[in-house]
Structure 1
């Protein structure tokens, strides 16, 4: 029996992982966020009501589930409390069911200011970050100067370290980026009331998770962003600052690979990307308009319109390999309803040499890439809300089978709409 399931994005994020995490967590004791920060936006639709989560694990909307923000996450205490209070206004109380790793790195005001200053200076060459300070926070972590959640427990030491770090940032912000300086006392003043609010949540989450595993508790591990935003395996430098692939789950929690029973990759039935960077199947025509409008393709964190394109199985197959995926979940199948034909990118061609090539190695190699498509017939019937595989239009079933054939792994879940209940469960993962 599968007790521990990992849910990962296989594209550039925004695949609909939040809904799938929420769906599977109904049967789980714990749901765990492993990396990223409040740059992640997971949208859930429950009884027609839209809920967007950034730091809090998606499955925590289930009353009997314990949420864990593990050591690999970078945490903005201000945003965390803001998110908790927003949920409480809706009658969703999570404070007593939320645990935060004492080793998680803090995101503070100077990280945000640095993030914004850098993007502004880069101009048209900007990475396209969310401006939430996530990259600079991870830099501090790697440079061994970052503050951690556990540092909030000692006000005197926190004040001393904070002053030194702010001096370090002010030197760059003022001298190089020509921005205003930051007063560390204001940051400290904002932090102090929060410490009391989260004190009981601060735990050794690695120990807690291992104890849960020993007691045969069901755990869902929730990845953020997508495989090709991974700092090592993504379309560098147009990536996020953490490992969004399977390695980030392991290092971000302290739970070893032998404890992970199933790894589910989530992909849209087409492709989207927010921000800059390579996107071989990107569209600029009426199909782009169809995907954007019908799929509501606007970033839940940034509000930016997402770039859209056909499903890219070259990248998808690579995601299968680098994550050791057990199976796939296809989301937003209903967005393809009404199209006359559907294209799948099955290989890449070098436009200079006409040579068929494998996955490009550098950002420069992507510049001469042209997708080669296989064309399948579309369907006119609605798939929205269908709950059985055999009830899907014949052409939609063929589309699903074709993806399985190309990727060589099964599709266990199909999402046919935004609601929590719009799910076809082909195979029970637990």
Structure 2
């Protein structure tokens, strides 16, 4: 039994949803486990019959009937979750909530977090950090400052939940001014419906799932947006490497060892496109405005900004592999790449993107400034994209796709650590 952790080695939008869907189609999967992010995820899955859903909090294996578990590392937004479930019903998933479990320790995003997120981003003006405007980072920041931040388990106790919601409203309103949010009782009504619809579990639930069968861990955003390793301040308030998934697996491994059972092996799968993309502000060294590539599921957004395209950025993806501690294998999407796209193998001014001082945000800002000045050094048009990406990133490509639906171009035997 091998669990697979799926991580985007870029800035997000590499095709994690497509990859997870295919992994769930190929064999029995016990569950898809989400291990970071929240409602700002946008993992598109298109079925051969044309049905399409952008998975945010539900796992991208939902069309295959695979349950989703939202771990304690996910920021859960009940309002967004209800809207997503409603759309899933329209595309043929009759009871989405029956496929969902949520860890009681997961943070609870509220409308005040969302509103505060948008106020802050507006006030930054031309210096916007880049945001989806859904309050995920605001929720994480609030929890760091306030131990009484609302969590999913609080929905079981309406009195305590109300107190915590009032505290969120009052603190954020005092700091930022009046926020355009419904009153507390209206929010409580929605969250009560959420409580009645979902199954909330404690920390002992996931170990049982992982020991029952193979699981796919579905990451959100990309390593180059990581809260500690990304180009600060244009990052997410989320750990986007393998670390959270490995922490969950380590807990299970320790329990299994104590019980004399097995938690299974782990495969670390990195996902890249044949070209590098980025939503909104921040460095994109290989950006090329002349690239005109079809993009049915991404575009300019009010909060994210423009959807930007660049040539395959091997130095940045190598950096992502390095800060992740390596990958066992790669998945490459968009193999129908046009002749205009090249692989950038080096920058003009930076020989190697340094990994040091991940917790030093001032050092990360200096790196961001250096990357803004960097330009493409050497690049080439590969005759074999798969072989070239394997050589550039030092790992085998085991899955390749060239279309948003249907069979993959190839799917080789997995490589396990």
TM over 0.5: yes
What is the match of residue 381 of structure 2? 376
Structure 1 pair 3–301 and aligned structure 2 pair: CA distance change class (3 A): farther
Return the offset for 1:212. 2.9
Q: Does 1:313 align with 2:306?
A: no
Return the offset for 1:332. 0.5
- Equivalent-residue separation in structure 1 for 2:296 and 2:92 (angstroms): 28
Structure 1 pair 193–294 and aligned structure 2 pair: CA distance change class (3 A): closer
8 Å Cα contact 1:102-1:149 kept in structure 2: yes
Runs of 4+ in 1 over 6 A off after TM superposition: 299-303
Of residues 230, 241, 247, the one that matches 2:243 is 247
Structure 1 pair 370–295 and aligned structure 2 pair: CA distance change class (3 A): farther
What is the match of residue 386 of structure 1? none
8 Å Cα contact 2:115-2:181 kept in structure 1: no
Structure 1 pair 332–74 and aligned structure 2 pair: CA distance change class (3 A): same
What is the match of residue 267 of structure 2? 262
Q: Does 1:232 align with 2:228?
A: yes
Give me the CA root mean square deviation: 2.4
8 Å Cα contact 1:231-1:241 kept in structure 2: yes
Q: Does 1:142 align with 2:140?
A: no
- Equivalent-residue separation in structure 2 for 1:83 and 1:301 (angstroms): 20
**Per-residue Cα deviation, 1:231-279 (whole angstroms, up to 9, x for no partner):** 0011111001100111132346775688651000000000000010011
Return the offset for 1:193. 2.8
Of residues 388, 392, 395, the one that matches 1:402 is 388
**Per-residue Cα deviation, 1:65-115 (whole angstroms, up to 9, x for no partner):** 221111100011111122112212222032222111111110101001100
- Equivalent-residue separation in structure 2 for 1:365 and 1:151 (angstroms): 44
Helix, strand or coil: the match of 2:388?
helix
Return the offset for 1:421. 1.9
Aligned length: 391
What is the match of residue 170 of structure 1? 173
Helix, strand or coil: the match of 2:342?
strand
**Per-residue Cα deviation, 1:294-334 (whole angstroms, up to 9, x for no partner):** 67642799785410000011111122222221011110111
Structure 1 pair 301–254 and aligned structure 2 pair: CA distance change class (3 A): farther
- Equivalent-residue separation in structure 2 for 1:58 and 1:172 (angstroms): 37
Helix, strand or coil: the match of 1:333?
coil
8 Å Cα contact 1:37-1:75 kept in structure 2: yes
Structure 1 pair 264–300 and aligned structure 2 pair: CA distance change class (3 A): farther
- Equivalent-residue separation in structure 1 for 2:108 and 2:221 (angstroms): 19
8 Å Cα contact 2:319-2:353 kept in structure 1: no
Structure 1 pair 357–405 and aligned structure 2 pair: CA distance change class (3 A): closer
Return the offset for 1:420. 3.9
Name the stretch that deviates more: 305-314 or 259-268: 259-268
- Equivalent-residue separation in structure 1 for 2:61 and 2:180 (angstroms): 40
* TM-score calculated relative to the size of structure 1: 0.85
Structure 1 pair 97–301 and aligned structure 2 pair: CA distance change class (3 A): farther
Return the offset for 1:4. 0.4
Q: Does 1:79 align with 2:80?
A: yes
Return the offset for 1:180. 5.2
What is the match of residue 202 of structure 1? 200
